[in-house]
């Protein structure tokens, strides 16, 4: 079979390949357990977690969890050649715009001085180190699963896998982090997730190409 014929046959069904989905269903739960155990041993939950979950801080784990779902779904879709992102890609863009708008509103309210005060604390270094560390098993599992597919854009697919893994790790880290202001959470978490996304991009270029 010629390459063009193979591509046409694979592209006829743009759903995520069963190999990718099956791999992910096997690998991701184990990776989540590993990340959770490492989190419990190295970080643990904040002392006022119950009270925090009855305040706007409850959004801290939920927002990255939703982002992980969108990014992971799109990565699975793009694991098929010639697949298009469709509504999931649109939803991901809308999600990003909403987060940027939320940061803009918080910055307008708090000003640059508020950003400097809230963001540049010792917690920033902890956040930037912790989320990528917790994401390592999640990223490894995600890229291993995606390697069963045949993405035409391996760098983008790897980036989405990294975005999903980093967002899952951020959701877990949020249970420990006691910095609840938008001027800390939005830029700090975005930067940490961005590190994992960039790592996924680089690794995806090498491991997902076919």
Q: Given this model, what pLDDT does residue 17 score?
A: 47
User: At a CB cut-off of 8 Å and minimum separation 6, what does 182 contact?
Assistant: 102, 103, 106
Q: According to the model, what pLDDT value does residue 13 have?
A: 52
Predicted local distance difference test score (pLDDT) of residue 173: 98
157 within 8 A of 78, measured Cβ to Cβ = yes
DSSP-derived secondary structure for 42-80? HT---TTHHHHTTSGGGHHHHHHHHHHHHHHHHHHHTTS
| pTM of the predicted model as reported, rounded to 2 decimal places | 0.88
CA distances from residue 73 to 13, 140, 164 in whole angstroms, order as listed:
16, 17, 9
In which residue ranges of the chain is pLDDT below 50? 17
Distance CA 142, CA 153 (A): 16
- In eight-state DSSP terms, residue 84 is -
Compute the distance between CA of residue 14 and CA of residue 138 in angstroms, rounded to an integer.
25
> Coil, helix or strand for 12?
coil
Cα 65 from chain centre: 8
Distance between CA 128 and CA 123 in Å, rounded?
Answer: 9
Residue 21's pLDDT is: 85
Give the tens place of pLDDT for each residue, 5-26: 655 655 555 555 458 888 999 9
How many other C-beta atoms can be found within 10 angstroms of the C-beta atom of residue 144? 18
């Amino acid at each position: 079979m010629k390459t063009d014929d193979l591509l046409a046959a694979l592209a006829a069904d743009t759903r995520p390949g069963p190999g990718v989905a099956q791999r992910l269903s096997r690998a991701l739960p184990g990776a989540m357990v590993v990340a959770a155990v490492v989190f419990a041993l190295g970080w643990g939950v904040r002392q006022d977690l119950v009270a925090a979950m009855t305040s706007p801080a409850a959004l801290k784990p939920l927002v990255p969890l939703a982002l992980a779902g969108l990014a992971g779904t799109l990565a699975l879709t793009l694991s098929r050649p010639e697949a298009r992102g469709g509504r999931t890609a649109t939803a991901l863009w809308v999600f990003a715009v909403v987060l940027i708008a939320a940061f803009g509103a918080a910055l307008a309210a708090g000003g640059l001085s508020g950003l400097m005060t809230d963001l540049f604390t010792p917690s920033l270094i902890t956040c930037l180190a912790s989320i990528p560390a917790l994401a390592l098993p999640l990223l490894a599992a995600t890229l291993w699963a995606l390697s069963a597919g045949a993405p035409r854009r391996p760098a983008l697919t790897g980036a989405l896998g990294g975005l999903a893994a980093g967002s899952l790790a951020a959701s877990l880290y949020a249970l420990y982090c006691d910095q609840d202001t938008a001027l800390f959470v939005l830029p700090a978490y975005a930067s940490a997730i961005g590190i994992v996304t960039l790592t996924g991009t680089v690794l995806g270029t090498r491991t997902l190409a076919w």
